[in-house]
Chain A
Amino acid sequence: MLEINELECVRGDRRLFADLSFQLPPHTLLQVRGPNGSGKTSLLRNLCGLLAPAAGSIKWNGRDIHAMGEEYRTQIAYLGHLSAVKDELTPRENLSFSARASGLVARTADVEAALRTLGVDGFHHLPCKALSQGQRRRVALARLCLSAARTLWILDEPFTALDAAALGVVRQLLESHMQAGGMVVLTTHQEVAISARTTRRVELGH
């Protein structure tokens, strides 16, 4: 259960949002909406713990996430704007290394299965710089298949550059994660219908 209380975010000179409060129980989807520059990414980075809030608190099961430190990071999986895909490595190498570096279990069979789910499993000897933007994004998203143990998924514009088929795959991934008790926080400019037991919305930029 994630609990946000009177969260305030200041970047440089601007106060992006203040007095933001909400709760996120398991099986919940949170959609963060707002115009460009309204602080959606900053909110997500606050939830990850990368950015410290100017005021207010973020609690995971009653404990402040900054006090929890490493333990909180075993509970979350984050996908930001940048895909974290290395150009000179193949998709399999990328996924294997990045999963292991994040402390996830990455057996060869699981890595192959994850790439297959996202449709990028055919590029065994091609470095990722030979792939298209959408294909690179899918390599990044494949990490979600290995992140079932991470309860809270925080995704910044996960549907960007995806075609309809890939979009469907990702939607299914999110839905099954939430069904199993997980939570998903995402920002998106696109209207994507994701079914979850509970859906919350946060509007920024007012």
Chain B
Amino acid sequence: MITHTNWFKYSSPATFYQLAGKLTPWFFAAAILFTIAGIYVSFFVAPTDAQQGEAYRIIFIHVPAAWMSMFIYIVMACWSGIGLAFNTRLSSMVASALAPTGALMTFIALWTGSLWGKPMWGTWWVWDARLTSELILLFLYFGFMSLQAAIDDPRRADKAGAVIALVGVINVPIIYFSVKWWNTLHQGASVSLTRSPSMAATMLIGMLLMALAFWMYSIGAMLMRVRCIILERERNAAWVKSVQGDER
């Protein structure tokens, strides 16, 4: 007998709550495994760079974090947009759950970029195109989170967040392009974190492993956070009351 899964049942917060609870440990386990593999490759397998020595190894955190920061923003904007277009609550809750993790990735990218800049060029901050774009991306995340925090009505917060996220997503390429233009005009090509050392294959593998680790972590963190959001938003529903009863 063939059974068909009704995927739409997972769009109900109650069912998704249970599913998220079951999946979270798996994602965190995967994150730990990928991290171990990634760190092994980053520190022990990838060769020492001819120009930058050992200090360059921070790109194994910096670049994956930067990738994830942009990826999460796009995913967040998509879920937000779906919530706005189809009036579904869960999509918006997922978007709200993603934002803090995305901001964290952006912050890590900025911080590691700064740590990289110090031994390389002697300054704690470098106004190159990528770092400046990441800084603006951080402000976009803060804007989204602050707007949602300031609006009391959760449905209005969902929809307003969706508008700002979608406007942001259209702007991200424009901002990146304009910052790149500004950077070449003002700095010349000498100082640039985007000009990474030429990629040995092992370096690429290291970065991909760390990227996968961050991705698994982000999904796990999102699932945990969305469970909290679901409990808070659906607190008047009967199933939440029985969950609270069980956990007492």
Residues of B close to A11: CB separation below 8 A: 153
In the bound complex, CA of A12 to CA of B233 (Å): 10
Q: How far is the CA of A80 from the CA of B22 in the complex (A)?
A: 49
Q: Please give, as numbers and ranges, the residues of chain B lying within 8 Å of A13 by CB-CB distance.
A: 236
Q: In which size bucket is the chain A interface?
A: under 10
Q: How large is the interface on B (under 10, 10 to 19, 20 to 34, 35 or more residues)?
A: under 10
Which residues in B have their C-beta under 8 angstroms from that of A12? 152-154
Q: Interface on chain A toward B: helix, strand, loop, or mixed SS?
A: loop
Smallest CB gap from B153: residue in A: A12
* Bound complex: CA A52 to CA B156 (Å): 12
Rounded to whole Å, the gap between the CB of A173 and the closest CB of chain B is: 35
Bound CA span A52–B159, Å: 13
Mask for B159-185, Cβ within 8 A of A = 1, else 0? 000000000000000000000000000
Q: Which residues between 1 and 32 of chain A lie within 8 Å of chain B, taking CB atoms?
A: 11-13
Provide the residues of chain A in CB contact with B154, threshold 8 Å: 12
Digitize B216-241: 1 where CB-to-A-CB distance is under 8 Å, 0 elsewhere.
Answer: 00000000000000000000100000
Residue of B nearest to A14 (CB): B236
A198 to B152, CA, bound (A): 41
In the complex, chain B residues 132-158 whose Cβ is within 8 Å of any chain A Cβ: 152-154
Q: Which residue of A lies closest to B233 (CB)?
A: A13
Interface residues of A in 74-95 (CB under 8 A from B): none
CB distance from B46 to the nearest CB of A (A): 54
Chain A neighbourhood of B87, CB < 8 A: 52
- Please report the C-alpha to C-alpha distance between residue A71 and residue B25 in the assembled complex, in whole angstroms: 53
Q: How far is the CB of A25 from chain B (nearest CB, A)?
A: 31
- Give A13 to B153 CA distance when docked, in angstroms: 9
Cα A13 to Cα B236 in complex, Å, equals 8
A13 CA / B87 CA spacing, docked (Å): 17
Once the chains are docked, how many angstroms separate the CA of A13 from the CA of B237?
A: 11
Q: Which residues of A contact B (CB under 8 A)?
A: 11-13, 52
6 pairs from A and B in contact (CB 8 Å cutoff): A11-B153, A12-B152, A12-B153, A12-B154, A13-B236, A52-B87
Closest 5 CB pairs of A and B: A12-B153, A13-B236, A12-B152, A12-B154, A52-B87
